Structure 1
Amino acid sequence: AAEPLTGARDCRLEIHDGCIIGHFNEIYATKSIIIEKDVLTADRVYISDNLHGYEDIDTPIHRQPIVQNGDGLRIGEGSWLGVGVSVLGANIGKHCVIGANAVVTKDIPDYCVAAGIPARIIKRYDFDSKEWRTTTPDGHFK
C-alpha cells in the first residue's frame, strides 16, 4: 500500500521488472519505497518507510500519528531478502543478501551480506580478489 499518512506531497511505491515477491509480504509506503529490478523477497518480508508514533504515553499507540522514517527507501537491483526480514526505513544496496529474520534499520551498501537483529554486515564482495570476504560489522574487510 502507498498512502501519504505522514503528510508527504508525493507517495509512491515502485516495484520494477523481474522482481519476485514472496508470500505474505507487507510493503507499506507513506513517502517512497522503490524496489529495483530483479529483487527477490522470500515469504513474510516486511518493508516500511514509516513507524508508529509512541510519544504520547496517555494515548494508545494505534491512535497516535504515523511517523515518517527517513526520506523513503530503496532496495537495490538483484538483492535477496530472506524469510522474515524486516526493513525499517533503511536502504539496501544492489546485489545484497539479507539473512533470514534480519531487521534492517541502517543502510546496507552494495554487494554486502547482512544478518542479525539489528542487521550487520558480515560479508562484502571484494572486487580486487573477486570473492566474498568476511568483514567487521561496519563493512571493513578482516
Structure 2
Amino acid sequence: MIHPLSDVKTKSIGPDTNIWQFSVVFEGAVIGSNCNICANTLVENDVVIGDNVTVKSGAYLWDGVTLENDVFIGPCVAFTNDKIPRSKQYLETLAKILVKQGASIGANATILPGVTIGREAMVGAGSVVTKDVPDYAVVVGNPAKIVRYLEGGK
C-alpha cells in the first residue's frame, strides 16, 4: 500500500510494504518486502532497505544509508552523510552508514557518517553514535558508549 498523499518515485518496492502519507521516496531507492515506512519520512536515491524493516515517522534516510533485514528505526532518528556540511558545497562521495540485521535505533538518536551499527545491536533514544557499534551491543549517551551486550553477544 502506498498512501495517495505520499510521493513515491521508485519502482523497487517489495510486496506487502506500506508507505504512509507525506513520505517522499526517490527513484533510485530500493525497499524490501513487508516493510512499514511511516508518515513524514524521506528516502533518498542511494538508500537500500531490506525486508521486515520499520522506519518510524520523522526519519530521513539520506544517500548512503543501508538498512539490512529486520531493522527498526525509531521516530526522528537523524542519519548524516557529510562530516563537514556547508551550504552549496557538495562532496564527490558521501560517507556510508550500514545498519546490520536486527538492529534497533531509538527515537531521536543521531548516527554520524561512516558508522556501522552491528547485528542485533541497540542504540538508546537520544544517543549520538560517533563510531561503529559492535554486534549485540547496547549503546547510550553522547557520545554513545557500550553499556552491555544482549544475549548472543559477548
| TM-based fold match above 0.5 | yes
Say if 2:88 is the partner of 1:63: yes
- Amino acid corresponding to residue 74 of structure 1 in structure 2: L
* TM-score, normalised with respect to structure 1: 0.68
- Quick check: 1:34 aligned with 2:58? no
TM-score calculated relative to the size of structure 2? 0.63
Secondary structure of the residue aligned to 2:138 is: strand
Report whether the alignment pairs 1:12 with 2:36: no
- Aligned twin of 1:47: 79
Of structures 1 and 2, the one with the larger relative CO (CA 8 A, separation 6+) is: 1
After TM superposition, give the deviation of residue 67 of structure 1 in Å.
7.4
Matched, 1:25 2:49: no
Looking at CA atoms only, which structure, 1 or 2, has the larger radius of gyration? 1
C-alpha contact 1:102 1:117 (8 A) present in aligned 2 = yes
Q: Which runs of 5+ in 2 are unaligned?
A: 1-24, 27-44
Match of 2:138 among 113, 136, 140: 113
In structure 2, the residue matched to 1:80 is 104
Taking the aligned partners of 1:39 and 1:93, their CA distance within structure 2 comes to 11
Measured in 1, the distance between the counterparts of 2:87 and 2:74 equals 28
Q: Kindly state the Cα deviation for residue 51 of structure 1 after the two structures are TM-superposed.
A: 3.3
Q: What is the Cα deviation at residue 33 of structure 1?
A: 1.9
Unmatched segments (≥5 aa) in structure 1: 3-10, 54-60, 134-142
| Residue 75 (structure 1) shift | 0.3
Extract structure 1 runs of 4+ deviating beyond 2 A.
48-53, 63-70
State the distance in 2 between where 1:87 and 1:68 align: 18
The C-alpha deviation readout for 1:77-124, integer Å capped at 9, x for no partner, is: 111110101111211001011001111110001000001111111112
Preserved contact between residue 52 and residue 67 of structure 1 (Cα < 8 Å): no
